[in-house]
Amino acid sequence: MSAAVAAPASTDPVAPPPRWGVQASLIQPRQPAFWLFLVLLGIGGYLFLDEQSTMSQLPTALTMSWALVLIYAVPVALIVYRLDLFEREPKLMLAAALLWGGVIATSLAAQANGAWLSIMGKTLPLDVTANWGPAIVGPGVEETLKLMGVITLFLIVPDEFDGVMDGFVYGAMVGLGFTVVEDVSYFITASAAFGGGDATGPVVDTFLIRVVAGGMYSHVLFTAVTGMGFAYFVTQRKAGFSRRVLGFAACVVAGVSAHVVWNSPWMQSFLATTSGRPSTLQWIEYGLVKGMPFFVLLVVLVVLATRSEEKNFRSIVAGEPDPQVITEPEITSLGSLLSRRSARTAAGRLRGPMGSRLTGQLQAAQIDYAIIRSRVGTSIDPAMDAQRLKIRGIRSQLEALPLVAAPMGSSLPYAVTVPYGATGTAVAVASAAETLPEPVAAAVPVAAPQEVPPAWVPTHLVPPSGMAAWDAPDPSRPPMVNLPERLELMVESRAGAWALVRAINGWRGWVDGRRLVDRG
């Protein structure tokens, strides 16, 4: 049975595949935006170090603050990085995004916020400034400064922006840098207000409020949304200018609105308590109500952006003549982190830990294949030939692994998808509608242990659709394993329509002997 090949390329002449293979450097001396970045980094760096020097008067609280925010920031950065499934951004560009958010945007925002709040205090009633000042001033100032970071990175290296997902990644990284530094400032302020001592208790309390209760709805979310809007404007040229402007504006409004809602005194009833101090659970409920709608919006935008990336991936790999390089089921399995992990888990269940690792290597090699093909612009190139050879080598290693039998009596699903068979296709085996032989009397032995088993000589093959195997000739029991197509087996004995088979690694099991293919 021949493997399915990738879907044909889109016939839309207006939307050519992106150039994923071009990895540009942040160091661009000929770009004025690069020098703007350095100048602002110098100014922001001075202000940042000055603030850190002041906060170092509380060394224990400062150390605890940075430790706690890094516990939050490192996993978030990894998640954002890995959500870019097909063409991950250069690490130096990501570092620049973090620096813009954490050093430039926070330092400039502190000055601008202070100035605007001072103006509000002089022109509006004090209770309005106290309650609504952060919601009126903060979002406009901070989202403008953070979005400027995404725009500056685009002006430095425009080739790195080839899809909406890039706006998500850079925006989220800018927002992450901002929230890390801002949170440290809040933690130290809380510690200093606690009797003026170097206390860690207020640091932990503020961490629970700002990170545990509201970490998903902070600057990472706000700037990710606005960054996606900007990326939509600069990358989706086929959408038309007016539509791109509208999409950009809608995302900016959504990101700023999320920030306004988060900073506003709305929904304070969730924090009402007789003791005067809300619990962590109340803060979590407060965060869910305030931030969840915008978090759902971000998830939807990321899903749509990922589907667009998958469409680009399909258009790049379309027309590959070798079915051993990539198949349609494999393209589908590459479409999300969950499906990739599911494919690795299925391979590990069937062929052990090495099968899982090799499947992961195969997935990475197939992504690299698309990146190389995007760079060279053709399927006929020495670099493409080398990558095809690498993929075939990984696939050969995977298929050469011995089958790992499931433990006797394990409750495996009756229908399981094997991710990579001998031809690289995904096959479903032992469907519920399959007609199985009748059970044989319990007197039939499963497999009598022998001191010296007979020499293994393959006599049959698993059929192209794969097949299930049982620990006893009884179809009412759950299958203990699903065998991949074209696996070599030796028939040791038969009982009616059932066959007791043995694999090269010594595994034994019962199968429907009528479906076995004579090896000839």
- Say yes or no: 219 and 296 in one domain: yes
Q: In this predicted structure, what is the pLDDT of residue 24? A: 75
- Say yes or no: 268 and 293 in one domain: yes
Instruction: Please report, rounded to a whole number, the percentage of residues in the chain having pLDDT higher than 90.
Output: 35
Task: Assess if residue 22 is contained within a domain.
Answer: no
Q: In this predicted structure, what is the pLDDT of residue 96? A: 96
State the pairing for strand pair 467-469/481-483. antiparallel
Task: Assess if residue 378 is contained within a domain.
Answer: yes
Task: Assess if residue 405 is contained within a domain.
Answer: no
CATH code, 438: 2.30.30
Using the 8-state DSSP alphabet, how is residue 335 labeled?
A: T
Q: Are 387 and 333 a contacting pair, CB within 8 Å?
A: no
Question: pTM for the full model?
Answer: 0.71
Q: In this predicted structure, what is the pLDDT of residue 438? A: 67
pLDDT in tens, 296-326: 888 899 888 888 888 888 888 887 777 788 8
Task: Assess if residue 234 is contained within a domain.
Answer: yes
Which pLDDT band holds residue 166 (cuts at 50, 70, 90)? very high
Task: Assess if residue 420 is contained within a domain.
Answer: no
Give the mean model confidence (pLDDT) for residues 426-447.
47
Residue 121 token pair = 């205090």
pLDDT in tens, 36-69: 999 999 999 999 999 999 999 999 999 999 999 9
Of 11, 13, 20, the residue nearest 373 (C-alpha) = 20
Q: In this predicted structure, what is the pLDDT of residue 187? A: 92
pLDDT at 421 over 50: no
Instruction: Indicate the range of 68-72, 211-215, 414-418, 493-497 predicted with least confidence.
Output: 414-418
- Say yes or no: 182 and 107 in one domain: yes
Which pLDDT band holds residue 126 (cuts at 50, 70, 90)? confident
- Say yes or no: 351 and 445 in one domain: no
Give the mean model confidence (pLDDT) for residues 212-234.
89
Give the mean model confidence (pLDDT) for residues 248-252.
95
Which pLDDT band holds residue 439 (cuts at 50, 70, 90)? low
pLDDT at 168 over 50: yes
- Say yes or no: 284 and 308 in one domain: yes
Higher pLDDT, residue 220 or 430: 220
Give the mean model confidence (pLDDT) for residues 363-380.
83
- Say yes or no: 273 and 348 in one domain: no
Angle at 245 between CA 24 and CA 143, to 5 degrees: 70
Q: Which of the listed residues 400, 416, 447 is the one where a domain comes to its end?
A: 400
Task: Assess if residue 422 is contained within a domain.
Answer: no
Higher pLDDT, residue 5 or 323: 323
Q: In this predicted structure, what is the pLDDT of residue 429? A: 37
Which pLDDT band holds residue 423 (cuts at 50, 70, 90)? very low
pLDDT at 426 over 70: no
- Say yes or no: 161 and 125 in one domain: yes
Q: What is the mean pLDDT of the chain?
A: 81
Instruction: Indicate the range of 22-26, 168-172, 426-430 predicted with least confidence.
Output: 426-430
- Say yes or no: 36 and 153 in one domain: yes
Q: In this predicted structure, what is the pLDDT of residue 352? A: 85
Q: Which domain holds residue 482?
A: 427-518
Q: In this predicted structure, what is the pLDDT of residue 115? A: 92
Q: In this predicted structure, what is the pLDDT of residue 420? A: 36
Give the mean model confidence (pLDDT) for residues 232-258.
93
Task: Assess if residue 318 is contained within a domain.
Answer: no
Percentages (nearest 5) of helix, strand, coil residues in the chain: 60, 5, 35
Q: In this predicted structure, what is the pLDDT of residue 260? A: 92
Give the mean model confidence (pLDDT) for residues 137-166.
93
pLDDT at 273 over 80: no
Higher pLDDT, residue 169 or 87: 169
In Å, what is the CA distance from 321 to each residue of 219, 369, 379, 465, 491? 46, 14, 9, 23, 37
pLDDT in tens, 73-123: 999 999 999 888 888 888 999 999 999 999 999 999 999 999 998 898 888
Task: Assess if residue 131 is contained within a domain.
Answer: yes
End-to-end alpha-carbon separation of the chain, Å?
Answer: 18
- Say yes or no: 342 and 474 in one domain: no
- Say yes or no: 360 and 434 in one domain: no
- Say yes or no: 38 and 91 in one domain: yes
pLDDT in tens, 448-460: 444 456 788 889 9
Q: In this predicted structure, what is the pLDDT of residue 407? A: 43
Of 83, 47, 68, the residue nearest 170 (C-alpha) = 83
Q: Which of the listed residues 313, 346, 362 is the one where a domain comes to its end?
A: 313
Q: What are phi and psi of 87, to 5 degrees?
A: -140, 95
In the chain, how many domains are there? 3
- Say yes or no: 219 and 280 in one domain: yes
Residue 22 token pair = 């071009």
